[in-house]
Amino acid sequence: MTTTPAESSAPPFGVPAHQPNGRLPGALRRRLHPDPTVRRLAGITLVNTVGNGLSLAVAVLFFTRVLGLSAAQLGFGMTAAGLCGVVASVPAGRAADRWGARRVLVVLVSIEAVGTAGYALVHGYAAFVALACAVSAVDRGAAAVRNALYAQVLPADRRVAGRAYLRVVTNIGICLGTGLGAIALQFDTRPVYLAAILADAVSYVAVALLMYRLPAEAGAGAGPGASAPASVSASASGGAGVGQGVGQGRRRNPALRDGPFLVVTALCSVLGLQFAVLEVGVPLWIVQQTDAPRITVAGAFIVNTLMVIALQVRATRGTEERTAAARACRRAGLVLAASCLVIAMAHGLPGILAAAVALVGIGLQSLAEVMGQAGGWALSYDLAGEHEHGAYQGVFNAGSAAAMMAGPAVVSTAVIGYGVAGWAVLGAALLAAGLAMGPAVRWAGRRETRLRAA
């Protein structure tokens, strides 16, 4: 990896510069990523996700018990906030291309810190909806910019593996934060809930400071395995690139004019419905439609988390090439369809057997999740112009945010409401999305060939 002087001289977190990793225990040293930039990003991710996990654990009770919102009010407010998140992703990505991902991300995370702390001052429903919309817009915009930052600071052949490592760290951080949140839930008092929300705000401040210390770029376009020069890469993908100049290239969003990329984004969004299945569909199905013990819901989340931690990095191997990434998405669709059928089979079975079948279905879904995420990451980077990752990640993240917003309603009504038939239809949709990824990627290849010849 080619690094800037600042990056090459900076030690990893907590390790003296004169003896990198030398005094760490052997087991810990083996688990640290060899790339110092990824180690820095991992430290930032851990701080961020511990705060997120703490906030997620107490958020519903904070909003309902402390702010006094009804379930219907909370649902409407969060839906409106989700829509704002979808809309914000695209302009945030464009801003990253124009002003630099690191700079934009520091600003967005700082705003998110203020917004999160603002929940402690909210009195009234209108104020809550307005603040929730603002925080969601900033959060989803930051997610798009963060993905663009990975493209800037990591070489092209290591981006997907780096994101996989960071996703493992994310799961670990969420688990730690949720554990802290469980302690807060036991106290069940207004001061403790406020402290948890404010602790999340403080974590955003820490993340902004750590992000500010990152190098603006780390030679992502140089060195072994790096991408083609920006002008070549951008012309191949239909983007503006450096060679077209700032004026012409920045007026229109190239990702919104890239048909194959939009199709790939839509297909990945359909595959992303699996997260609503895990978070909403499985708990409702287990509690309402099976005789499995309620503790099975917790077991489902544990199985999913452990499998992602164990398999996500391994699932990225070989997906750097786009046809391999498309195959990973196709396999994800197949396995997701199978998982839907297995989960549906838990209906009508005796309690323990129903729990076992449901957990097998969750295992299949988790396997599909790591494959689908690896393939989607690879395609979102590979199909983008090298100097327009902000624009492309903004559009891709908008698709993911749309799936996150619509997924709970789709799963709770169209799937749970129709029982086994609903699971079958959902499985067919996921299978179709996975199978369609190959033709979409081949279309992208034909488009690039045509643009090169033009």
Question: Residue 314: which pLDDT band, with cuts at 50, 70 and 90?
Answer: very high
Instruction: Report pLDDT digits (tens) over 327-367.
Output: 999 999 999 999 999 999 999 999 999 999 999 999 999 99
Are 262 and 303 part of one and the same domain? Answer: yes
Q: Which residue has the higher pLDDT, 415 or 331?
A: 331
**Domain holding 137: CATH number?**
1.20.1250.20
- Indicate the average pLDDT of the chain: 85
Torsion, Cα of 277, 281, 283, 288 (10° steps): -160
| Lowest-confidence region among 92-106, 235-249, 409-423 | 235-249
Mean pLDDT over 243-267 rounds to 75
State whether 62 and 124 are in the same domain: yes
- Which amino acid would we find at residue 304? N
Identify whether the C-beta of residue 410 lies closer than 8 Å to the C-beta of residue 82: no
**Nearest of 160, 169, 157 to residue 373 by alpha carbon:** 160
Q: What span, in angstroms and rounded, lies between the C-alpha atoms of 60 and 54?
A: 12
Domain shared by 198 and 316, yes or no: no
Q: What is the mean pLDDT of residues 410-434?
A: 93
Q: Are residues 197 and 293 in the same domain?
A: no
* 231 vs 218: CA distance, rounded Å: 19
Do both 189 and 321 map to the same domain? no
Considering the domain boundaries, does residue 231 fall inside one? no
Give yes or no for residue 418 having a pLDDT over 60: yes
CA distances from 409 to 26, 281, 315, 336, 339 (A): 47, 10, 30, 19, 20
Helix (H) or strand (E) holding 186: helix 159-187
Hunting for tokens 């299945």 — which residue is that?
A: 277
Lowest-pLDDT choice from 103-112, 234-243, 404-413: 234-243
Determine the Cα–Cα distance for residues 381 and 284; give it in Å rounded to an integer: 35
Indicate whether 384 and 448 sit together in one domain.
yes
Mean pLDDT of 38-46: 93
Has residue 247 been placed in a domain? Answer: no
Same domain, residue pair 263 and 150: no
Is 310 within the bounds of a domain?
A: yes
The pair phi, psi for residue 115, each rounded to 5°, is -65, -40
> Are 46 and 194 members of one domain?
yes
Whether residue 245 lies inside any domain: the answer is no
pLDDT value at residue 245: 37
Give the residue numbers spanning the domain of 313: 254-453
**CA dist list (Å): 425 to 106, 344, 410, 411:** 42, 11, 12, 11
Judge contact between 360 and 367, C-beta under 8 A. no
What is the pLDDT, as a whole number, of residue 386? 74
User: Poorest-confidence range of 23-27, 163-167, 345-349, 356-360?
Assistant: 23-27
> How confident is the model over 230-247, as pLDDT tens digits?
333 343 344 433 333 333
- Is the overall model pTM greater than 0.85, yes or no? no
Q: Which amino acid is at 156?
A: A
Q: Which residues have a Cβ under 8 Å from the Cβ of 417 and sit 6 or more positions away?
A: none
Residue 58 belongs to some domain of the structure: yes
pLDDT of residue 384 exceeding 60, the answer is yes
Instruction: Assign 158 a pLDDT band (cuts: 50, 70, 90).
Output: confident
Regarding whether 128 and 171 lie in a shared domain, the answer is yes
Residues 262 and 162 in one domain: no
Determine the Cα–Cα distance for residues 95 and 415; give it in Å rounded to an integer: 38
| 200 and 139 within one domain | yes
Position 155 scores a pLDDT of 86
Asked if residues 85 and 119 have their Cβ atoms less than 8 Å apart, the reply is no
**Spatial separation of the C-alpha atoms in residues 358 and 363, rounded to whole Å:** 9
Dihedral over Cα of 282, 147, 394, 221: its sign: negative
- Residue 238 inside a domain? The answer is no
Mean pLDDT of 402-431: 92
* pLDDT tens track for 124-140: 899 999 999 999 999 99
Residues 204 and 279 in one domain: no
Percent of the chain with pLDDT over 90: 61
- In this prediction, residue 4 carries a pLDDT of 37
Q: Is residue 248 part of a domain?
A: no
Q: Which residue has the tokens 């290849």?
A: 445
Does residue 184 belong to any structural domain of this protein? yes
pLDDT of 238 reads: 41
Tell me which long-range contacts 114-117 makes (C-beta under 8 A, separation of at least 24): 114/201, 116/55, 116/197, 116/200, 116/201, 116/204, 117/197, 117/198, 117/201
- φ, ψ (nearest 5 deg) of residue 318: 85, 0
pLDDT of residue 294: 86
Domain count, the chain: 2
Can you tell me the mean pLDDT for 296-311? 91
Which pLDDT tens digit goes with each residue over 174-185? 999 998 998 888
For residue 23, count CB atoms less than 10 angstroms from its CB and return exposed for 0-12, middle for 13-18, buried for 19 or more. exposed
Q: Identify which of 441, 389, 88, 393 has the alpha carbon closest to the alpha carbon of residue 239.
A: 389
pLDDT digits (tens, 9 = 90+) for 198-223: 999 999 999 999 999 887 654 433 33
